Amino acid sequence: MTPKDSQDLTRVAAGTVMGDFMRQYWIPAAKSSELATDGTPMRLLLLGEKLVAFRDSSGRPGVLDHVCPHRNASLVLGRNEEDGIRCIYHGWKFDVNGRCVDMPSVPPSQCFKDKVQAKAYRAADRNGILWVYMGPRQEDPPALPMVEATLLELQDVDISFMMRSCNWLQSLEGDIDTSHFGFLHVGHLDPDDVPEGHPLEHTAGERAPEYHVRDTPWGTTYGAYRTVKPETIYWRFANYMFPFWTQTPQGEFPVNIQARAWVPLDDSHTMMIFWRRRTNGPRGTNEPLKNGKPLAGARPQADFHPIDTSWLGRYRVVAEESNDWLIDREAQRTNRIYSGIDHIALQDQAVTESMGAITDHAHEHLGPGDLMIARTRRRALQAARAFAAGEPAPGVDAPEVMMAARSGFFEMHQSVEWQQAYADKMRSADRVLKTQAQPEAVPAK
């Protein structure tokens, strides 16, 4: 990682290597329910751009630059009415396409509304999520992504949001680093306390897995492995998918339909959006141990601040740097909770935010357990730079390649080569058999 590599990977504003690359993909931005028809406009920060999101009288979502093109007042203050958002400064009104449709402060004989256009992006609703396309193909955008978990109907999936105060890359990398699980999350767990067949059985017994890693059409894949019986390998597979998606191995491979998007709000803030199949879903770390109790430190819910209307006011957890992420030093000292932090996602949040807003990669010393991280950085950087040189962004026009990605754990005879083991398990895995047709996305200029 040279300083240029680090900068190209972590910066996401328009005109940057990674920022322009990410703009080729549809971005999950909010819950569809956050926008009510003719309701309050919402501040939306994406890839460093300050936007306003609203739902018009016909139920169509609109995402515009928040700056009114007349005199730069914020459209967040606007009136959402009669199929458009009206600036309260002079009453100019814009539809979801960004077209100026009314200019009441200008005499009719001098009206020039047809010459005024607010910057607008395509927006679409699918399965409870508002998606935004910020790329150049506004007239003919690519299809929405086919990340399997996002295709589940709302009744079949749990979706959660959590903002993280650091760069998207260091946020994402925790999901493709399985060796930290045996320490940060379960370092206090005695292997003798884990029942046979429990999801944590092998992770608690062997905390230094070995890795196979490969490039894939969707990004990268790792297979972390441990020999758990004389002829049996315990596999944990996980994926990075372009441009900011992960799948983690916290579930039985055949039924583990889940994904996370690590959406950059700006260079130093990230929105994590987590889809996890609800029915017949993956067995989790909260399964009782031999004492009949769940894993210490795995509190089901984090505490959140109330949502406010600021640019960074959505899905903020109470635990943060100013309160040391609510670390319980007594729980840490007594080894009741290895980290002292009582929530698995908050444990990840604490260590990644503690690295700083954008970590200095020059200070790192990567080891064998970081093989997937190193490969993923290289893969993402090569793809982004190749796009900048004129090559297509992977998967944008072939979203079905994402359907071949699955994560989870399983055991397999040691004679089966690792990529073959993955292929064999994919053939018998539960799949989302019915994928929704692409919704009509509102055109924008």
3-state secondary structure of 131: strand
From 109, 133, 157, the end of a domain falls on: 133
Judgement on whether residues 208 and 337 belong to the same structural domain of the protein:
yes
Helices (H), 136-225: 168-173, 201-205
Residue 445 lies in a domain: no
From 133, 168, 191, the end of a domain falls on: 133
* β-pair type (157-164, 129-133): unpaired
- Burial category of 306 from C-beta neighbours within 10 Å (exposed 0-12, middle 13-18, buried 19 and up): exposed
pLDDT digits (tens, 9 = 90+) for 265-322: 999 999 999 999 987 555 667 788 999 888 999 998 999 999 999 999 999 999 999 9
Judgement on whether residues 182 and 99 belong to the same structural domain of the protein:
no
Residue 2 lies in a domain: no
CA distances from 239 to 15, 178, 260, 273 (A): 28, 11, 10, 16
Judgement on whether residues 126 and 152 belong to the same structural domain of the protein:
no
Whose structure tokens read 């992006």? Answer: 121
For the entire predicted model, the pTM comes to: 0.94
Judgement on whether residues 166 and 237 belong to the same structural domain of the protein:
yes
Residue 444 lies in a domain: no
Judgement on whether residues 203 and 281 belong to the same structural domain of the protein:
yes
Q: Extract the residue ranges of the chain whose pLDDT is less than 50.
A: 434-445
Give the structural domain span for 412: 148-427
Query: What is the rounded distance in angstroms from the CA atom of residue 120 to the CA atom of residue 138?
Result: 9
Residue 439 lies in a domain: no
Residue 201 lies in a domain: yes
List the structure tokens of 25.
């993909």
CA within 13 Å, CB half, 383: 27
Question: In whole angstroms, what separates CA 121 from the centre of its chain?
Answer: 20
Backbone angles phi, psi at 388, to 5 degrees: -60, -25
Judgement on whether residues 128 and 165 belong to the same structural domain of the protein:
no
- Burial category of 368 from C-beta neighbours within 10 Å (exposed 0-12, middle 13-18, buried 19 and up): exposed
CA distances from 443 to 76, 120, 396 (A): 21, 9, 18
Longest dimension (CA), the chain: 87
Judgement on whether residues 201 and 252 belong to the same structural domain of the protein:
yes
Query: What is the rounded distance in angstroms from the CA atom of residue 391 to the CA atom of residue 128?
Result: 33
Query: What is the rounded distance in angstroms from the CA atom of residue 258 to the CA atom of residue 280?
Result: 12
In sequence order, the β-bridge partners of residue 63 are 53, 121
CATH code of the domain covering residue 160 = 3.90.380
pLDDT digits (tens, 9 = 90+) for 188-233: 999 899 998 888 888 888 888 899 999 999 999 999 999 988 889 9
Residue 17 lies in a domain: no
277, 149 Cβ separation under 8 angstroms: yes
CATH code of the domain covering residue 58 = 2.102.10.10
pLDDT digits (tens, 9 = 90+) for 33-58: 999 999 999 999 999 999 999 999 99
How many domains does the chain divide into? Answer: 2
Judgement on whether residues 252 and 346 belong to the same structural domain of the protein:
yes
